Amino acid sequence: MEYLVLQILPYISVTIFVVGVMYRLGKWASARIVHNIVLTPAPPTLGGAAVNYAAEVALFRSLFKGDKSLWAGAWIMHFALLNIIGGHIVGFAFLGEQFKFIGTSAELSKEMSNLLGTTFGIVIWVALLYLLYRRFAINEVKLVSAPADYLHLLLLLGIVTCGNLMRLIPEYGVHYETAQTYFIQLATFQPVHLEHINFIFVLHLLLVQILMIVFPFSKLMHLFGMFAERWIINRPYVEPAPGLPGVKVSASSSTTTVTAGGKTTAGGV
């Protein structure tokens, strides 16, 4: 069982994840943006549009304007998730000593790494529980939910719970070194060593791999959908020039002259 989950399945799940996501993105790309469906008010410059785009993607601005509690649950969850994924990468790469690069000692860096990891682990767990609670408690959300929507949350909760158990209960703890060795062996196609590895760690990895397999075939694709959809509706728009042909300036003190002929600047997208 351990051999299957830790040695064989990872190659399968990573392949499915990568190929699956590329297939889906390829299908999206082959569909066209036929009409200009920009949502207004739209800024006239690309810079302005970039600011809107960034505010939506990084801060979930639309959600913030409309529903503060959903925003809190969703944004905190995603922010913690981003940090946890980043933490896994740098933690395993630098064995917890990544903060040396911003001037801490190796000791302090390890402590910070542990503290941040534990904190975000608990934060995301609470946020996920809130999102699950919402699905049960708010009638409208219940009305739109399919069984898979609950299962996704339960899967994430399972992953996070395993992670937290490893963090908080010493006997389930797995050291950065062990994890690093494991990933290097996996990445270089060597047999993995299965000592120092406990049941919770195996379960954690199994659930993560299930998530990777499910990802391309589920709403989890919203990660990419966010960027793709925003690219369609948050764009700049340049208004055509005003001014009617043949209008004589009437008795006015205005300094602006009328644009005769009414030529547009570049209208459209």
Partner 1 sequence: MAGEKKYKAPNKATVAEMRALFIDPVPDERKVDEALKHLKYLVEKYRPLMLAMESCTKCGHCAENCHTYLGTRDPNNIPTNRADLFRKAWKAAYTLEGKLFGKLVGAEPLSLDTIEKMYSYFYQCNECRRCAMVCPFGIDTCEVTFAGRQLLHWLGMVPKLQAQVGAAMYRTGNHTGLPKPGLVDTCEFLEEEMLEETGVEIKIPIDKPNSDVLYIPSSADFLLNPNTMMGAAKFFHYLGVNWTMSSEIAEAGNFGLLFDQRYTMRHNIMRLLNEAVKLGVKKIVWGECGHGWRTGKMYVPSMADRPIPVPIVHLHDEVSYYIRTGQLKLNPEVNSNPTTLHDPCNFVRACNMADTLREVITAVTTDFREMTPNRERNFCCGGGSAILYDEPEMYDLRIKFSAKKAEQVRATGVGEHGEGYLVAPCSICKAQLYPMVEEHQLGVEVKGLIDLVGTALYPPIKKND
Q: Please, which of residues 48-67 interact with partner 1 by CB under 8 A?
A: 56, 60, 62-63, 65-67
Rounded to whole angstroms, the Cα distance separating 11 from 57 reads 31
Question: At 141, which amino acid appears?
Answer: V
Q: For residue 238, what are the contacts with CB-CB under 8 A and spacing of at least 6?
A: 44, 265, 266, 267, 268
Binding residues for partner 1, rule CB under 8 A, total 77
Q: Which of 9, 55, 70, 126 binds partner 1 (CB under 8 A)?
A: 70
Q: Is 247 one of the binding residues for partner 1 (CB under 8 A)?
A: yes
Q: Is 72 one of the binding residues for partner 1 (CB under 8 A)?
A: no
Q: Which of 45, 51, 54, 245 binds partner 1 (CB under 8 A)?
A: 245
Q: Which of 1, 102, 143, 187 binds partner 1 (CB under 8 A)?
A: 143
Identify residues 162-191 at the interface with partner 1 (CB under 8 A): none
Q: Is 69 one of the binding residues for partner 1 (CB under 8 A)?
A: no
Q: Is 193 one of the binding residues for partner 1 (CB under 8 A)?
A: no
Residue 230: count of CB within 10 angstroms of its CB? 18
Please identify, using beta-carbon distances, which residue of 43 and 173 lies nearer to partner 1: 43
Q: Is 68 one of the binding residues for partner 1 (CB under 8 A)?
A: no
Token reading at 10: 């990872």
Q: Is 36 one of the binding residues for partner 1 (CB under 8 A)?
A: yes
Q: Is 267 one of the binding residues for partner 1 (CB under 8 A)?
A: yes
With vertex at residue 154, the alpha carbon angle to CA 202 and CA 201, rounded to the nearest 5 degrees, is 10
- Residue 113, class by beta-carbon neighbours within 10 Å (0-12 exposed, 13-18 middle, 19+ buried)? buried
Q: For residue 79, what are the contacts with CB-CB under 8 A and spacing of at least 6?
A: none
